[in-house]
Amino acid sequence: MTTPDVTKLICLPYAGAGASFYRPWSALAGDALEIVALQLPGRERLIDEEPHRDAHQAVDGLLVQLRERLGESGDGGRVALFGHSLGAVLAYELAHRLVDEPGVELVHLFVSGSPEPARGREQRATDLSDEDFLARVGEFAGYHHPALDDPEMREMILPALRADVEMHENYVPSTDLPLDAPLTVVRGEDDDLVGYDDAESWSKVAGRDFEYIEVPGGHMYLTDAAPALVRLIVSTVL
């Protein structure tokens, strides 16, 4: 049962990932946070739904889903957001929506592994052949998901991954207004995809407190560093 004053951490997935990635975070957070992982279409329980290719349409759907999840506990209450890579820009757009959401107190936005919203990627993977696309995405992430080596799994994962990458590469921010919430940006210190300037430039969109943090690891540092990341989030919002 939800405790009314417990902060809900709304988690947004990176490209190709599903909500289940954040399932272990509930145990890591314990009673300090309630983990609410949102699901994009085209994967896991929504595998039969067409994936989004436009970030703003995706956020429309995520806001509806979030309202349903918050409604289950009555009052929205204290809410923080976390997103990695694609999830960072989705979390940013969702944060702007939640600032004016009745019953919701947006206490913090955490973005990870992403340039600031107006700074797009120079290298692109959209429209490449499947093999070249996967090779380019692997270069971007510095990480290869073992499921992509299985032909059946790859056939299931590839449509959502392609749609997510297209969504991220074509993303344009909906606003240039500063966000009325504290903002923390996290970057893996060995991230070859997102440099220091890319990540630190999130300060441009921060309307309140801003913090830049580097942690050990590359672009996908959070696959190995979830306990430390959750501790960081808990210590920041409590």
Query: Angle at Cα 34 formed by Cα 161 and Cα 212, nearest 5°?
Result: 65
85 an active-site residue?
A: yes
> Of 94, 99, 16, which is closest to residue 62 (Cα–Cα)?
94
In the set 26, 85, 112, 114, the catalytic residue is 85
Active site residues: 85
